[in-house]
Amino acid sequence: MITETQVATHEITVTVNGQPRSIEVEPRLLLVHFLREKLALTGTHVGCDTTSCGACTVLVDGVPIKSCTHFAVQVDGREVTTVEGLATGAELHPVQEGFKEEHGLQCGFCTPGMMLVSAALLDENPDPTEEEIRWALSGNVCRCTGYQNIVKAVQWAANKRKEES
């Protein structure tokens, strides 16, 4: 039962999409709420509350994590990338282009998480097989597309990166 009303807060410093931010947070504040409510980065979505669906996926030091079951204080001193940080200025990330080109999204709710996982995959494995893509995305649920076009979107992005390098 909650009876204490004065909760101790912690100041955390975290680099979000390249920008250092220092903010006082309650220790229980979830990372997803920190991003959405404190930093107004609403591209990160909550789909299930239980680490199952991946709509809340962000990158912490380049690694995909599910921000609905991560506390904000856990990212103190680290780098977080959200969907808002994927593009470089007006230039879209190849994964973003790929999702549009290959019709990898419909309602768009899972898309930020899907794209961040895909971006991390391509950083680690620039030329993944279909099986590797499907395995990498297996922690993220999409209810609209049936995944086939998401796989094609990642393949599109991989090809684009190859052409650019």
Partner 1 sequence: MTAVEGERTEWLGRSVKRKEDSRFIVGRGNYIEDIKLPNMLYMAILRSPFAHAKINSIDASAASELPGVVVVVTGELLAEHNLAWMPTLSGDTQAVLATDKVRMQGQEVACVIAEDPYVAHDALELIDVDYDPLPAVISPQAALDPTAPVIRDDKEGQADNKVYHWEAGDAEATQRAFDEADKVVRLATHYPRCHPAPLECCGCVADVNPATGKATIYMTSQAPHVHRTVFALVAGLPEQNIQIISPDIGGGFGNKVPVYPGYVVATAASLLLGRPVKWIEDRTGNLISTGFARDFYMDGELALKEDGTMTGLRVKMLSDQGYAYADAQPSKFKAGLFHIVTGSYDIPAAHVATEGAYTNKAPGGVAYRCSFRVTEASFFIERLVQTAAYELGIDPAELRRKNFIPPDKFPYTSATGFEYDSGNYEPALDQALERVGYQELREEQKRAREEGRLLGIGLASFTEVVGAGPSRQFDILGIKMFDSAELRIHPTGKAILKLGVKSQGQGHETTFAQIVAHELGIPPEDVTVQEGDTDNTPYGLGTYASRSTPTAGAATSMAARKVREKAKKLAAHLLEAAEEDLEWETGRFHVKGAPDRAKTIQEIAFAAYTDHPQGMEAGLEAVDYYDPPNMTYPFGTYAVVVEIDRGTGSWNVKKVVAVDDCGTRINPMIVEGQIMGGLAEGFGMAAMQLITFDEEGNCIGSNFLDYLLPGSWETPPFELGETVTPSPHHPIGAKGVGESATVGSPAAFVNAVIDALAHAGVRNIDMPMSPDKVWEALNEVGLAE
Rank residues 31 and 142 by Cβ distance to partner 1 and give the closer one.
142
Rank residues 56 and 75 by Cβ distance to partner 1 and give the closer one.
56
Question: Do residues 120 and 61 touch, judged by C-beta distance below 8 A?
Answer: no
Whole-number minimum distance, CB 131 to partner 1, in Å? 9
Rank residues 21 and 48 by Cβ distance to partner 1 and give the closer one.
48
Residue 37 CB: number of other CB atoms within 10 A? 12
Query: Which tokens is 126 given?
Result: 């620039």
Q: Where do we find the tokens 């199952």? A: 52
Question: Do residues 83 and 90 touch, judged by C-beta distance below 8 A?
Answer: no
Give the footprint of partner 1 on residues 65-124 (CB under 8 A): 82-84, 86-87, 92, 96, 99-101, 103, 105-112, 115
Sign of CA dihedral 120, 121, 123, 124: positive
| Interaction between residue 21 and partner 1 (CB under 8 A) | no
| Interaction between residue 28 and partner 1 (CB under 8 A) | yes
| Interaction between residue 23 and partner 1 (CB under 8 A) | no
| DSSP code for 78 | S
Distance in angstroms (rounded) separating the CA atoms of residues 143 and 37: 26
Distance in angstroms (rounded) separating the CA atoms of residues 139 and 152: 18
The footprint of partner 1 on this chain (CB under 8 A) covers a number of residues equal to 58
| Interaction between residue 156 and partner 1 (CB under 8 A) | no
From the list 28, 32, 35, 38, the residue with the least C-alpha distance to 7 is 28
| Interaction between residue 13 and partner 1 (CB under 8 A) | no
| Interaction between residue 41 and partner 1 (CB under 8 A) | yes
Applying CB under 8 A, the residues found at the interface with partner 1 are 1-2, 5, 26, 28-29, 36, 41-50, 52-53, 55, 82-84, 86-87, 92, 96, 99-101, 103, 105-112, 115, 133-135, 137-151
